[in-house]
Amino acid sequence: MFSKIIKDFFLKKIISSKLTSADLDVSINKIHTVGVIIDESYFSNIDSLKKEIEQYGVEQKNIKILLFKKKVSKKEVVKELFFTRNDMKINGEISKNEVNVFLDQPFDLLINYYEVERPSLLLVSKASKAHFKVGFSTIDKRVNHFMINTSVSQYKEFISELFKYLKILNKL
């Protein structure tokens, strides 16, 4: 318990310093590849979210999902790529190689699909090499280029609003 508190403290300090020096460069690229970071504690309807994104012309093979899970039991089978707080070192580095590969992909669009700020999620979102980052308005404004004011449970509304604005921004 005590080690979790210390780890969270250091992760918060690291993310705070990274957000202070935040420089959000906006790309003019069209959207072809999409990465999605999801906090599974608050949203588990992943397949429906994928299908909703596909309806707007993004191919299924171009959608990559990364889940944040609080705990993973040994018997649990997770079909998507995931990470936990245990996969993060106290200095903010991620020890799980698959997650690092996800973060190094230059997605045209990264959807930060979580509305509760957790140091692990903020650090992963900030570390992503995505060109355009979108998330909820409840998250620190320095993480995303564009924010939508809705709740996690209303995924259809979120995706609809997102693609409406992407069309206005000439990203489709």
Q: At what angle do helices 2-20 and 119-127 cross, to 10 degrees?
A: 40
Instruction: Supply the pLDDT for residue 158.
Output: 95
**Dihedral sign (CA 131, 125, 66, 171):** negative
Map out the domains of the chain with their CATH numbers. Answer: 2-168 (3.40.50)
| pLDDT bucket at 28, cuts 50 / 70 / 90 | low
From residue 3, alpha-carbon distances to 7, 87, 88 in Å are 6, 14, 13
Instruction: Supply the pLDDT for residue 44.
Output: 87
Instruction: Supply the pLDDT for residue 148.
Output: 94
pLDDT at 30 over 60: yes
From residue 4, alpha-carbon distances to 10, 40, 99, 105 in Å are 10, 19, 21, 29
Centre a 10 Å sphere on the Cβ of residue 21 and count the other Cβ atoms it contains.
7
Q: Report the range of poorest mean pLDDT among 24-28, 32-36, 80-84, 117-121.
A: 24-28
Tens of pLDDT, residue by residue over 98-147, are 999 999 999 999 999 999 988 889 889 988 999 999 999 999 888 888 99
Tens of pLDDT, residue by residue over 61-100, are 999 999 999 887 777 777 889 998 888 887 878 889 999 9
Instruction: Supply the pLDDT for residue 140.
Output: 84
CA distance 58 to 32: 6
| pLDDT bucket at 51, cuts 50 / 70 / 90 | very high
In this prediction the pTM is 0.86
Instruction: Supply the pLDDT for residue 23.
Output: 56
